Amino acid sequence: MKYTPKEIPEEVNVNVTRVHPLVNFAYLLGTTIGVSILIYLGLGFAAAQLTTRISPEMEIKIGQSLFPKGLFSSSLKNQERLEYVQELATSLQEDMGATRIPITVHLWENEALNAAIFPGGNIVVTTGLLDAVETENELAFVLAHELGHFAARDTLKGLGRSLVFVFVTSAIGLGTQDAGGLSAVVSTSGQLTNLHFRIRQESAADLYALEAIIRRYQHGGNSLDLFERIKVKDSRGKFEEYLSTHPLTQDRIDELNKIAAQRGWLMEGEVTAMPENISNW
């Protein structure tokens, strides 16, 4: 039998699937991101459902085990300020009827302008914030905002979601034994989903705060002045805004004014001053 060399066909290679690598990649990436978002939403929803069943005693316990109390031992000179803020927070809490557990205010001696809520009804307020507020209305709005997170159990929900998050990413890391890119994709989609939750929570807390302010002072005047003042300093771009949880202050102010107009809430009124010994340091 004579061997006759056969021409190799030029472009048909049966051993390589004829699909563009990028198309293939897009399909795989889409599937992975889609599924991880679904898992994350599902488990996150379950976590949120479970947190509403946590008893007040349990919530206090969780707060005690998670809250770094030692960090916020305020010095004696701040004692008066602390008492004042605590009183304001408690009375706001009573106004709104969100009294499943008492609120505890902690002062953090820090120049940053911030306030935060922790599990177990712990609110941390920086001395920088107290220095920056000029009227009680402003301070009350910030406290009521944190109270809004408390009333919606946002910290507990966040805790539940973090647990889900860690569980899912580590399960993927364990299951495929690859850290690298894959768990990065899954965790990034998870984080973006989480961001979506948190932005919604922020708007809800803002609304809650305004409602509390209206109940207490019968008007929303001056309560947003702090945001007006700090927005000058705020230079976040659109991209950073997307990645940050709090909306740009101007957007926040506009949104709240819009809602107030819709509901017929008064946005002007008499200013309640801070007590002398609190404001002048």
Partner 1 sequence: MSDLINVIIFLGLLALGYFSGTYFEQQHYKSIKKREKKTLYVPTVTFGAKQAMPEARDAALFAGSVVIGADYFKTFVSYLRNLVGGRVVVYESLLDRGRREALLRMKEQAIAWGATQVVNVRLESSNIGQQAGSNKGMMAIEVIAYGTGVK
- Residues of this chain that bind partner 1 (CB under 8 A): 3, 5-8, 10, 13, 15-17, 19, 21-22, 24-25, 28-29, 31-32, 176-178, 180-182, 184-185, 188, 191, 243
30 vs 56 by CB, closer to partner 1: 30
CA atoms within 13 A on the CB side of 76: 0
130 vs 186 by CB, closer to partner 1: 186
The DSSP symbol for 102 reads -
CB of 40 to partner 1, least distance (A): 15
CB of 31 to partner 1, least distance (A): 6
CB of 189 to partner 1, least distance (A): 12
- The H or E element that residue 266 is part of is none
The phi and psi torsions of 197 (rounded to 5 degrees) equal -60, -45
88 vs 172 by CB, closer to partner 1: 172
66 vs 184 by CB, closer to partner 1: 184
CA 144 – CA 204 distance, rounded (Å): 11
CA 274 – CA 87 distance, rounded (Å): 13
CB of 253 to partner 1, least distance (A): 26
Which residue in 14, 80, 39, 127 sits closest to 278, CA to CA?
A: 80
28 vs 66 by CB, closer to partner 1: 28
CB of 178 to partner 1, least distance (A): 5
Instruction: Give the C-alpha distances (Å, rounded to integers) separating 66 from 118, 154, 259.
Output: 8, 15, 36
DSSP string, 200-243: HHHHHHHHHHHHHHHHHHSS-TTTTHHHHHHTTT----HHHHHH
